[in-house]
Amino acid sequence: MATDVQDVLGSSVKRVEDPRFITGKGRYLDDIVLTGMTHMAILRSPYAHANIRSVDTSAAKSMPGVIAVIVGADIPWNPLPMAWPAGGSSGIVNNVNTPRILATDSVKWTGEGVAAVVAETAEQAIDALEAIQVDYEPLPAVVDAEKATQPGAPQLHENAPNNVVFTWPVGDKAGTDKAFDEAEVVVRQRVVNHRLIPNPMEVRGDIGLYNPGTDEYTVWMSSQTPHIQRLLLAAFVTGIPEHKIRCISPDVGGAFGSKIFCYADMALVMHASKLVGGRPVKWVESRRESYGSTIHGRDHVTYIEVAGKKDGEVTGLRVKTYANLGGRLSTIGPGIPTTLYGRVLSGCYKIPNVYAEVTGVYTNTTFVDAYRGAGRPEATYVIERAMDLFANEIGMDKAAIRRKNFIPPDQFPFDNPSGLGTAVNGEKIYIDSGNYEPALNKALIAVDYQDLDKAKAEAKRRGKLLGLGLSTYIEVCGVAPSKWIGAVGEGWGAAMWESSNIKVHLTGKVIVTMGTQPQGQGHETTFSQVIAHELGVPMEDIVVQHSDTQGTPFGYGTYGSRSGTVGSTAAIKAADKIRDKARRYAAHMLEAAPDDIEVVGAEYRVKGSPEKKKTLQEIAFALDLGFSLPTGMEPYLDETAYYDTPNCTWPFGTHIAVVEIDEETGETDLIRYLAVDDVGKKINPMIVDGQLHGGIAQGVGQALWEAAIYADDGQLLSGSMMDYALPRASWLPSFELDETVTPSPVNPLGVKGVGEAGAIASTAAVANAVNDALAPLGIRHLDMPFTAQTVWRAIQTAKGGQS
């Protein structure tokens, strides 16, 4: 290890993960085959709402290959936990109902699990499901959150009158009401942020393996959070001691939030493996099944009110949101529309008075939880639509109104009085940094904003309505300070620090184990870059390991754009400890005082005598053997760090969408998409850009095509990939990315997180563009998704024709 090792931090090195993926050697859950493995299939309710009178499994038990049939009453374990109530310990009442491992008395959505079959093959298990007779008593269903709270709506749970899970207020109600009383202009609009299905390309699955000899369970799971799942399965669901459960996430084929959670199938494969004498039990959901067994996202109905002055100053924002949480609650369902939505509603604007009230609602639909951005795309949609609506009302330019209301760069850290800055038991977080106008200006120049009217006129001559939409977003990343998110009860009942262990082995090779859990983000590359930088070791000598509760330090996993900020800082802290011990041992080897050792890359030199030096490799070899140790020093270069972030991080930027709508057909074409993002410093710019691309595509997908649609009786009409319109290559343009760089002061790398930024910004940008295109027809607001039919109908209605 020489000092001339190239510093790879901040460079677009190719991913170390890719060789296995481009050659078909990735190892995803369904690729795992264990000796004696059995297969499980789950019978799911065809009704959205029904009582279960009886379940007859006798015929199924005699089907070919069937080993066991399981019903809910067989399983002695608890319902799944709900770990993030609205308002935490603030006194807000949460009327909690969570799924059982298998339903026993009633079903609340189409797709809730009722029984399971374990068989020799997957086909035999699926065949045997057909032979299970369930006697249902169908009940009236409700799928719309707003309707579900109305008098006379079908009631899902005895403990939740009017299907209300919680009503959660945030902000200063009196002050906001006063701002509205005194306002020169008030704008009101109802907006729907419709339901989405996350759709990672790999569906979920689990393999359970019970060891009768040791009474231990191993669960392979396609999960973003193996450590959390072990904790939840042990302490909340099964009662099996935590040290008797091992959870392993193999390669995970995308997740986007949907694989954060504790799912019934995880416990079910454990139960099933013990039931069949310790044979492994594999369950992999089908795509159709996934739409009912894995969480959905978004699904808000929101009433927006904006108060302000005729000069464009926004003085008040009042919001009422109905958040559809599904038939029963997922792991952190209530936390998403509260902490991660209600507290960031004012975005990047210095709106002095903000008040929001969020009502979480049960409906006969698949449970709703975190999907890429989780609350923040919904908040961005509200505030960015609000700014456009207000600008239109007073006839102000949409860039100008944003400039007028931005939090000025000299006001950071910004203590937003009605948002995240709201103290909970004295603890609060603040917006760490920002400089919003340069990003906006850069994007406006790139899109030739000054020529917008000319472009619209030119398009009009071709029969097209051109629209341009701005989204000057902000997001909260790097969740989160434990004392704020956990201990004081704002968030879930856990901490959110991260962990890393580094071992420099005898041969000088470095193994970094992390508590984070990638799903395509390239952690094995980026964490290697960070540690290569910290220790002066070539990347080829470093391997990053994760995913297995046996062999990695406890960590909270990967979501909320937290791994780059909280995770890599934990790795840096571990590297600090490695360097410190190596320095002390180098002093011992070189017979110098530790303070006289300077570290240059991987070389530990005596100050003033640079020829007297030891490399990290030499130090590790001697220290790991431990033949000669200074008094009190333990052998081995092996250090662990746990890092709790003092604050979240706050990426921001300006996204611009340009659309053309065919006035005859209503078809919307996204012709340009520009994004100027400030995600702070970058560990690997290539990976950062890739994260933005993917996030943008998902947000554009919501605006233009994607929608989970339920019939009134609770049947999911968009129940397959033939009906749920995922973005395809030919529907999207290439994206034009640029940046500003405002390093985050929160962590040593100055990074902010980028996993969700694209999805948070882009939906609002496209929605604003479509509404801008339709504005000349007198259309004030149209709800997403902007399918040709929706837009065509709006155009016809506006023109006074039949629709």
Instruction: Assess 721 for contact with another protein (CB under 8 A).
Output: yes
Cβ at position 167, least distance to another protein in Å: 35
The nearer residue to another protein, 17 or 146, going by C-beta atoms, is 17
Instruction: Assess 64 for contact with another protein (CB under 8 A).
Output: no
Cβ at position 39, least distance to another protein in Å: 11
Cβ at position 706, least distance to another protein in Å: 11
CA distance 306 to 389: 9
Instruction: Assess 607 for contact with another protein (CB under 8 A).
Output: no
Instruction: Assess 693 for contact with another protein (CB under 8 A).
Output: yes
Cβ at position 364, least distance to another protein in Å: 24
Alpha helices in 62-134 (DSSP H): 122-129
CA angle 163, 165, 171 (to 5 degrees): 125
Q: Specify whether the CB–CB gap between 270 and 40 falls below 8 A.
A: no
Query: Of these, 220, 256, 381, 710, which contacts another protein (CB under 8 A)?
Result: 256
The three-class DSSP label of residue 400 is helix
Instruction: Assess 275 for contact with another protein (CB under 8 A).
Output: no
- Look up residue 204 and give its two tokens: 């979920």
Q: Specify whether the CB–CB gap between 653 and 757 falls below 8 A.
A: yes
Query: Of these, 85, 87, 111, 253, which contacts another protein (CB under 8 A)?
Result: 253
Instruction: Assess 252 for contact with another protein (CB under 8 A).
Output: yes
The nearer residue to another protein, 48 or 759, going by C-beta atoms, is 759
- Look up residue 417 and give its two tokens: 């009085």
The stretch among 102-110, 400-408, 515-523, 542-550 that binds another protein (CB under 8 A) is 515-523
- Considering only residues 89 to 128 of the shown chain, the ones binding another protein according to CB under 8 A are 123
The stretch among 132-140, 157-165, 514-522, 600-608 that binds another protein (CB under 8 A) is 514-522
Instruction: Assess 254 for contact with another protein (CB under 8 A).
Output: yes
CA distance 676 to 399: 14
Cβ at position 145, least distance to another protein in Å: 26
Instruction: Assess 22 for contact with another protein (CB under 8 A).
Output: yes
Q: Specify whether the CB–CB gap between 515 and 230 falls below 8 A.
A: no
Q: Specify whether the CB–CB gap between 429 and 483 falls below 8 A.
A: no
Cβ at position 26, least distance to another protein in Å: 5
Instruction: Assess 208 for contact with another protein (CB under 8 A).
Output: no
Cβ at position 737, least distance to another protein in Å: 9
State the CB neighbour count (10 A cutoff) for residue 451.
10
169-193 burial, b if ≥16 CB within 10 A, otherwise e? Answer: ebbbeeebeebbeebebbbebebbb
Cβ at position 522, least distance to another protein in Å: 7
Q: Specify whether the CB–CB gap between 727 and 416 falls below 8 A.
A: no
Instruction: Assess 375 for contact with another protein (CB under 8 A).
Output: no
The C-alpha R_g of the chain, in whole angstroms, comes to 27
Q: Specify whether the CB–CB gap between 657 and 670 falls below 8 A.
A: yes
Query: Of these, 157, 194, 288, 350, which contacts another protein (CB under 8 A)?
Result: 288
Instruction: Assess 687 for contact with another protein (CB under 8 A).
Output: yes
Q: Give which of 166, 248, 736, 158 is closest to 447, Cα–Cα.
A: 736
Phi/psi at 604 (5° precision): -115, 105
The nearer residue to another protein, 321 or 525, going by C-beta atoms, is 525
State the CB neighbour count (10 A cutoff) for residue 408.
12
Query: Of these, 2, 7, 20, 310, which contacts another protein (CB under 8 A)?
Result: 20
Query: Of these, 7, 18, 181, 712, which contacts another protein (CB under 8 A)?
Result: 18
How many distinct helices (H) and strands (E) make up the chain? 19, 26
The nearer residue to another protein, 12 or 507, going by C-beta atoms, is 12
Cβ at position 564, least distance to another protein in Å: 14
Instruction: Assess 11 for contact with another protein (CB under 8 A).
Output: no
The stretch among 210-218, 416-424, 493-501, 694-702 that binds another protein (CB under 8 A) is 694-702
Instruction: Assess 310 for contact with another protein (CB under 8 A).
Output: no
Query: Of these, 10, 26, 46, 417, which contacts another protein (CB under 8 A)?
Result: 26
CA angle 739, 740, 741 (to 5 degrees): 115
Alpha helices in 491-542 (DSSP H): 523-535
Biggest alpha carbon–alpha carbon distance for the chain: 91
Instruction: Assess 9 for contact with another protein (CB under 8 A).
Output: no
Number of residues that bind another protein (CB under 8 A): 59
State which H helix or E strand residue 407 sits in. none
Per DSSP bridges, beta strands 38-44 and 736-739 are unpaired
Instruction: Assess 251 for contact with another protein (CB under 8 A).
Output: yes
CA dihedral 69, 70, 71, 73 (to 10 degrees): 130
Residue 348 CA, chain-centre distance (Å), reads 21
Q: Quote the DSSP letter at residue 321.
A: E
Instruction: Assess 540 for contact with another protein (CB under 8 A).
Output: no
| CB burial of residue 35 (10 Å; 0-12, 13-18, 19+) | exposed
The stretch among 176-184, 310-318, 409-417, 689-697 that binds another protein (CB under 8 A) is 689-697
Instruction: Assess 519 for contact with another protein (CB under 8 A).
Output: yes
Kindly list the residues in this chain that would bind another protein in the complex (CB under 8 A): 12, 14-15, 17-28, 30-31, 33, 123, 199-203, 251-254, 256, 286-288, 519-522, 686-687, 689-691, 693-698, 720-722, 726-730, 732, 734-735, 758
